[in-house]
Amino acid sequence: MNSLTLEVFLEERKAQIETKLPEYVTTLNAPSILKEAMLYSLQAGGKRLRPMLLFATVEGFGGNYQHSLPVASAIEMIHTYSLIHDDLPAMDNDDFRRGKLTNHKVFGDATAILAGDALLTYAFEVIVKMDEAMIDPHQKLRLVAELTRASGPEGMVGGQVADMEGENKSLSLSQLEFIHHHKTGDLLSFSIIAGAIIAKASNNDVDNLRSFAKHLGLAFQIKDDILDIEGSQDTLGKPVGSDITNEKSTYPKLLGLDGAKKKLDDHISKAKEYLYNVNMDHEKLEMLADYIMNRDR
C-alpha cells in the first residue's frame, strides 16, 4: 500500500465512522440538550486513529471492517468522553479543542460532565447490543472486559490520575512511560486487540499484537512531544511549545530532542518485530505505524 492508497484508506474509513457515530445518538430516547452535547464532541473531528487501527487489524485478518463499526463507535465514544472530562475547568481548563470551543464552554460544566458520563455508559451498550450474526456472546464479553480494563482505574483513568499527580514534578522515564502507557496507550491498544478478538485470532497472535500496540502507543506519545517542539501551529491546530511553558515532563525534556527521536525509532522498530510474528496481512498496520511516526499533526 503506497501513501496514496493509505490516504484513500484513511479517508474512506473516516467517512464511514463519521456517518455511523451520530446515528447512535440521534436515535436515543433522551433529553435533546444531552444528545446535542454528546453529538457536538463526537462530531468534532480528529484523525479517528483508534478506529483506523481497529479496521486495519480486522482487515489484516481478512475480515470486513464494516462489521466492526459498532466497536469503532464505542471506542470513539470513550475517547470523546475522556476529552470532554479532561477539558473541564476542574481538570485542564481548556477553552478550545481542534479549533472548536470545548464542550463545557458551549453547554456548561454540568451538562458536559453528564454528556461524558452518557458517552462512557452508552459505549458498553453499543457493544453488548451488536448483531449476534456478526459476533458471538463470548467475543462480546471479551470486548467489554478488555475495554473496561483499558479505560477504567487500571487503564486510562488511572493514567490520567498519575498524570495529574506528576504535574510540576520531575518524572523518571519509567514514571513517564507508566502515565502514557495508561493515559493514551491502553485505549490505542484496545483498538488493536478488539480487531483481533473480532477476527477470532489465536492467543499467540493476540499476545504479539498486544506487544506491537504497547510500543506503538509509546511511539505515538513521543511523536506528540516532538511535534510540540518541531510542529507547525497551523498544521497542528493548537499552539506549539505548550509543554515547555507548562513545565511538563516530556520525552525530549528527559532524553533531549535527538534522544527522543531515537526512542521513537526504537519503539516503531520493536513494534514491527512483534507485528511480523502475527499470522495476518501486516500491510495496513505497518503503514499506520509509519504514519504515526511520520505524521505532521
Q: Which of residues 65-84 bind its own copies (CB under 8 A)?
A: 81
121 touches its own copies (CB under 8 A): yes
Our CB check for its own copies shows the closer of 37 and 201 to be: 37
120 touches its own copies (CB under 8 A): yes
Going by C-alpha positions, the residue among 65, 106, 73, 60 that lies closest to residue 87 is: 106
* Burial class of residue 276 in the structure, from the number of CB atoms within 10 Å of its CB (0-12 exposed, 13-18 middle, 19+ buried): exposed
Alpha helices in the chain (DSSP H): 3-26, 32-42, 49-60, 69-87, 103-107, 109-128, 137-151, 156-165, 173-180, 186-198, 203-230, 233-236, 242-245, 251-276, 283-294
Query: What are residue 101's phi and psi, to 5 degrees?
Result: -60, 145
Task: For CA atoms 123, 50, 82, 31, give the dihedral sign.
Answer: negative
Number of Cα atoms under 13 Å in the Cβ half of residue 223: 21
How far is the C-alpha of 278 from the C-alpha of 70, rounded, in Å?
Answer: 25
Minimal distance in Å, beta carbon 174 to its own copies? 15
55 touches its own copies (CB under 8 A): no
Considering only 6, 10, 17, 35, the residue that binds its own copies (CB under 8 A) is 35
Minimal distance in Å, beta carbon 117 to its own copies? 5
Considering only 151, 191, 208, 249, the residue that binds its own copies (CB under 8 A) is 151
Segment contacting its own copies (CB under 8 A): 133-141, 202-210, 237-245, 249-257?
A: 133-141
Segment contacting its own copies (CB under 8 A): 65-73, 94-102, 122-130, 276-284?
A: 122-130
Amino acid at 16: Q
129 touches its own copies (CB under 8 A): yes
Residues that bind its own copies (CB under 8 A): 28-31, 33-35, 38, 81, 85, 88-91, 108-111, 113-114, 116-118, 120-122, 124-125, 128-129, 137-138, 140-141, 144-145, 148-149, 151-154, 157-158, 160-162, 164-165
